[in-house]
Structure 1
Amino acid sequence: MPKKVDRHERRTLIADALMRVAARQGVEAVSLRHVAAEAGVSAGMVQHYFRTKDEMMAFAMAVVRERTQVRVTDAIARLGDDPSPRLLLRTMIAAVLPLTEESCADGRVALAFLAYAAVRPEVAAGMREDTGQMLDAVAGLIPAHGREEYAAGVLALMEGLGIHLLGGHYTAEQALAALDAHLDLVFGSAEGAAGR
């Protein structure tokens, strides 16, 4: 009887290979052939699971999202019961920022995918939904009129810090200090506006 193949496991193996290629050489180096060589499988096997580069890229990004969600969930669980909204938001963002070897690799793939999707509207559609959900989650933690604008600023800060961390422009300590300073402004301004 032939061995049963776990489709998700195979796709994840290929996505991991794609991420290693993208992290090392950039998204332009990602091809079915390069990914197959990195995964140690045939190009035919890659094509069996992914018909196009877009499908492969979208699945790899979904894997990055899942890993990031696990990091965020684990970090929040360590906070215990009833953390303050500011601490909860800081913890979420710190878990997303590329501060560890694993999150740096995921961050490089996310950045490469963002550049890839910027010129492919059909690929970017899923990212818009993710951004909207993240914006809503962040806005829900900020107690003020205008919370959507504050939330957009926090997400922009997170993305900017991520790019500077990946580029080696900031240390983890500098990035977290900048995050803390911004959250002090947001929560100070938000609480002041809520009290008016």
Structure 2
Amino acid sequence: MPKIIDHHKRKILIAEATWKVIVEEGIENATVRKIAQTAELSTGSLRHYFSSQSELLCFSMELVSDRVIQRLESREFSEDQDPLEFVSEGVFEVLPIDKERKIEMEVWLAFSAKVLVDSTLNELSNKVYDHMHQGLKNVIHVLQLLQYAKDGLDLDLEVNRLHAIVDGMAMHHLLNPGHFTQDKMTRTLNYHLKSLCK
């Protein structure tokens, strides 16, 4: 009998090979040939799934975004849980605090740089930015709904500030992990979130 191939699993395998090449060798070396070699596929097999490098990069970045969203959506708040702890753990889903999330952030930063020179990636970049922004808006909104947040907060400005803090911390940690350690990242986020609360 011919072997049955799960095409979605194969695309995920290719996307993960793309992440590996980007993290180890940089996005400029994420060629179709190199990714196929890393995925242990022929170039022809890879092109069966992705007709261009941009299409492959888009799928790889969407997979990063989808995995973050899945983790966030699987979280449930219980009444005996500290609201501040609950929302901070949610924000940590998008920060490089472990190997998996570090890879996701490194890949995302490399992709973001590629967007500057490849306009075909703009739509996905904007889509993921909007998802991230909405997720951080939900963080502030949850604190407000639970009557944990200070009165009179400007929701839009606070979301902008939190988004900038999260992006900045991720970049500082990836570029200078010896100076801006994971512990500093954790304490900085908790300090900021506490400043929003009564």
Give the gaps of 5 or more residues in structure 1.
192-196
Q: Deviations over 1:21-79 (max 9, x none)?
A: 001111011000100111111011111111111111011111111222233345x33x5
Taking the TM superposition and a 5 Å limit, the aligned residue runs for 1:24-173 are 24-74=24-74, 76-77=75-76, 79-81=77-79, 86-142=84-140, 143=144, 144-167=152-175, 168=177, 169-173=179-183
Superposed CA deviations along residues 96-124 of structure 1, whole A, max 9, x for unmatched, are 11111111111111111111112223312
Distance 1:84 1:126 in 2: 35
Unaligned runs of 5+ in 2: 145-151
> % of aligned pairs identical?
27
- For each residue in 1:114-163, what CA deviation from the matched residue of structure 2 results, as whole angstroms up to 9, or x when unmatched? 11112223312122122223323322443345211110111111111111
Contact 1:135 1:148 in 2 (8 A): no
| In 2, Cα distance between equivalents of 1:24 and 1:103 | 15
CA RMSD of aligned residues (A): 2.0
The code of the aligned residue for 2:19 comes to: M
Q: Please report how far the alpha carbon of residue 83 of structure 1 lies from its aligned counterpart in structure 2 after TM superposition.
A: 5.1
**Alignment partner, residue 179 of structure 1:** 189
**SS, match of residue 104 in structure 2:** helix
- Please state how far the C-alpha of 1:170 moved relative to its aligned partner: 1.6
Q: Which has the higher helix share?
A: 1
Contact 1:72 1:91 in 2 (8 A): no
How many residue pairs get matched? 186
SS at match of 1:3: coil
- Aligned residue for 1:194? none
Q: 1:85/1:118 Cα in 2 relative to 1: closer, same or farther (>3 Å)?
A: farther
SS in 2 for 1:96: coil
Q: 1:83, 1:38 → 2: CA distance?
A: 43
State the Cα distance separating 1:85 from its structure 2 match.
5.2
What's the counterpart of residue 20 of structure 1?
A: 20
1:113, 1:82 → 2: CA distance?
Answer: 40
TM (normalized to structure 1)? 0.85
Change beyond 3 A, Cα 1:159–1:123: same
Give the SS at the match of 2:41: coil
